[in-house]
Amino acid sequence: GKKLGYTFNHGNLHIISLGQGQEVVAEQALDLAAKEGHWVILQNIHLVAKWLSSLEKKLEQHSEGSHQDFRVFVSAEPAPCTEMHVIPQGILENSIKITSEAPTGMHANLHKALDNFSQDTLEMCSQEKEFRSILFALCYFHAVVAERRKFGPQGWNHSYPFSTEDLTISVSVLYNYLEASLKVPYDDLRYLVGEIMYGGHITDDWDRRLCKTYLEEFIKPEMLQGELCLAPGFLLPGNMDYNGYHQYIDDALPPESPHLYGLHPNAEIGFLTQRSEQLLLTVLELQPRDGSVGEGALGTREETVQALLEEMLGKLNEEFNMAEVMAKVEERTPYTVVALQECERMNVLTAEIRRSLAELELGLKGELTMTSDMENLQNSLFFDTVPESWVKRSYPSTASLGSWFADLLARINELEAWTRDFSLPSTLWLGGLFNPQSILTAIMQTTARKNKWPLDKMTLQCDVTKKSREDFAGAPREGAYVHGLFMEGARWDAQTGIITDARLKELTTAMPVMFIRAIPADKQDTRGMYLCPLYKTRQRGPTYVWTFNLKTKENPSKWVLAGVALLLQI
């Protein structure tokens, strides 16, 4: 929102906003200021990365012999990742650094949201009670959506740049609507705020549903009757003055917890665990990687990698002989096509694993010159991470290398069993497929052909059984039994057959076998159902697979706010 490419001079002060060819002007201002003792403020230096080396030299040039009152101030936006840091080390080392960090926690965020207004704001609307109540609810909504990011994918599938401008414009819209209407247009307000002001940032359909659900919970007629809880134990305050609202936050807002966002307490355990794992991985990667640590240490490292490499090559199955596999096919059904596609993709992956490991083995023996790709593979094996070349040919996974390789072998065994006679397994391991959507689509195709139903008018019905995979001896006549799914954010109560609150410290719980079958879309009953997204991994977002309707006695909005989802891997 800042204007770029302008210059403002006032006496001894020169303010230059970079980004539109202002570099020459900036250099002239620095020369003048160094001579006369002026102050120079350079804004948005991150936008002129190529010029920063010249700026570094210019500052070094003026570090001696310049006027004693000469000062330079620079500002920049934070880089999204370490690879995109553009400010030269010389500038950083020779400067006093100040960072402006966003507030953390609901308490600070709610105060910060309210700070955008004043007593005059509260008094400007003719419908004072309605305006104040909705304004406070919007402040709470803004604080929730901004701070929910810390919970990672369970908070939002993607991170969005919600800003105070979204809040202030929403309040302006609220004022205009209340001045123009005697009744509060709840639907219009929710739409404008959720779909345009904040929704304009949102790119994911499930995140849009979450934003919409928050507004449906916070902005509704009950808010004017003193009965609306913004969070457990935190009622929407009545008609107060500006300082009264700040005091109410201090007095009434419960201590920081996931409950304030509609999440289960386990969500905090999950994001703190992930943060700790990331920290420990960073510390591990700081270990020396070359021979400078001494021959003994290097030998130990190479021996570790060599042993792991030999173990993996010894355990890795042979590639599928596609000619032999194809010869077993009697009828090319949708299920058969899925199995063949999975075998082909598995061959691509295992061939790359075998090739790269064999190449590295020769490199470690000194028979090949070590390349950068081989060194990267060696580092991955040592740090227990999946090598990049394998990831490109693999399926989404957040597992360490050891767990990932064990999972790979299990997937190969599952495929070998399936392709012996191509009969559908009694229960399918849905998470064991590269493309789980393909088998779900195959279920619809098979049913559509059998019943002569139009494929585009069909959907999948999901019935959760009370059994485990060992209890099934054969596949059903229509559809398929699937296993290996997990629930995050809540748990499935097998006795009552509904979603219920998760137990503390059980971040994900295994689902019973699920019966998936295709039905005409107009026959599906969505009453008392939570539309639950299914993802491949806990990263959610781009790993989305399908949507299953799961029974619930609670309002589905509770599970939306809790970020409840099914996962194929944990």
DSSP track, 202-220: ---HHHHHHHHHHHHHHSS
- Quick one: 246 and 192 in the same domain? yes
Residue 278, domain member (yes or no): no
Going by the DSSP 8-state scheme, the letter that residue 554 receives in this structure is S
> What's the rounded Cα separation, in Å, for the pair 537 and 508?
12
- The C-alpha atoms of residue 458 and residue 438 are separated, in whole angstroms, by 15
Q: Whole-model pTM?
A: 0.83
- 417/433 same-domain check: no
Here the CATH number for the domain that contains residue 162 is 1.10.8.720
Domain match, 189 and 132 both: yes
Whether residues 40 and 145 share a domain: the answer is no
Q: Render each residue's pLDDT in the chain as its tens digit; 570 residues.
A: 344 555 666 778 888 888 767 888 888 889 999 999 999 998 888 888 888 889 999 898 888 889 999 999 998 877 766 666 788 888 888 889 888 776 788 999 999 999 999 999 999 999 989 999 999 999 999 999 999 998 989 999 998 988 899 999 999 999 999 999 889 999 999 999 999 999 999 999 999 999 999 999 999 998 888 788 999 999 999 889 999 999 999 999 999 999 999 999 999 888 888 888 888 888 877 776 554 444 444 457 888 899 999 999 999 989 999 999 999 888 889 999 999 999 999 999 999 999 999 999 998 888 888 888 999 999 899 888 999 999 999 999 989 999 999 999 999 999 999 998 888 899 999 999 999 999 999 999 999 999 888 988 899 999 999 988 888 888 898 999 999 999 999 999 999 999 999 999 999 999 999 999 999 988 888 889 999 999 999 999 999 999 999 999 999 999 999 999 999 998
State residue 9's pLDDT score. Answer: 67
452 and 417 in a common domain: no
Name the domain count of the chain.
4
Domain endpoint, select from 265, 287, 315: 265
Residue 277 located in a structural domain: no
Question: For residues 531 and 542, what is the distance between their CA atoms, to the nearest angstrom?
Answer: 18
Query: Is 99 within the bounds of a domain?
Result: no
Domain membership of residue 51 (yes or no) is: yes
* Cβ neighbours, 10 Å, residue 538: 20
Query: Where does a domain end: 56, 73, 94?
Result: 94
CA nearest to 262, candidates 298, 295, 196, 216? 216
Q: Does residue 71 fall inside a structural domain?
A: yes
CATH number of 431's domain: 3.10.490.20
pLDDT given at position 392: 94
**Domain of residue 60, residue span:** 2-94
Of the chain, the end-to-end C-alpha distance in Å amounts to 40
- pLDDT in the model for residue 303: 86
The predicted structure's pLDDT at residue 279: 87
In a domain, 118, yes or no: yes
464 and 555 inside one domain: yes
CA angle 142, 143, 147 (to 5 degrees): 120
Query: What CATH number has the domain bearing residue 56?
Result: 3.40.50.300
The verdict on residue 294 lying in a domain is: no
Task: For the beta carbon of residue 58, count every other beta carbon within 10 angstroms.
Answer: 17
Residues 473, 532 share a domain: yes
Q: Could you tell me how many helices (H) and strands (E) the chain has, helices first?
A: 19, 17
Residue 430 and residue 564 share a domain:
yes
Residue 365 sits in the same domain as residue 430: no
Tell whether 287 is covered by a domain: no
Mark whether 69 and 152 lie in a shared domain. no
Place of tokens 């309707």: 549
Q: Which of 372, 392, 423 is where one domain is finished?
A: 423
> 3-state class of 492 per DSSP?
strand
Amino acid at 459: T
Same domain, 307 and 405: yes
Residue holding tokens 């599928």?
320
DSSP one-letter code for 88: -
Domain co-membership, 110 together with 259: yes
Residue with the two structure tokens 């009828």: 331
